[in-house]
Amino acid sequence: MAGASGARLRLSHNSFDHALIGVADLDLAADYLKRAEVPFERGTQGLAIDPASACGAVLKLVP
């Protein structure tokens, strides 16, 4: 799935009111978020973003 055109980034809320992005290639996801100018933090279980920063948008990986 990682690197595939249009691969979806799955957003889910955890107990800290952040969204975890689950995707096989975290480097690719981090690169996408940087290009989209979405602030994020990288942890051992994925990438955390502030839900308000995403503005409810559906994020997709694009090459």
Closest CA to 2 of 24, 21, 26: 24
Q: Which domain holds residue 29?
A: 10-54
DSSP-derived 3-state class of residue 21: strand
* Position 3 in a domain: no
**pLDDT given at position 1:** 40
**pLDDT given at position 52:** 63
Q: In this predicted model, what pLDDT tens digit does every residue of 48-59 receive, in sequence order?
A: 776 666 554 444
**pLDDT given at position 23:** 55
Cα(12)–Cα(5) distance, integer angstroms: 21
CB 60 within 8 A of CB 6: yes
Report how many domains make up the chain. Answer: 1
**pLDDT given at position 34:** 82
Q: In this predicted model, what pLDDT tens digit does every residue of 12-56 receive, in sequence order?
A: 444 333 444 555 677 777 787 788 777 777 776 667 776 666 554
Cα(14)–Cα(2) distance, integer angstroms: 23
* Position 47 in a domain: yes
* Position 50 in a domain: yes
Paired tokens of 19: 């969204």
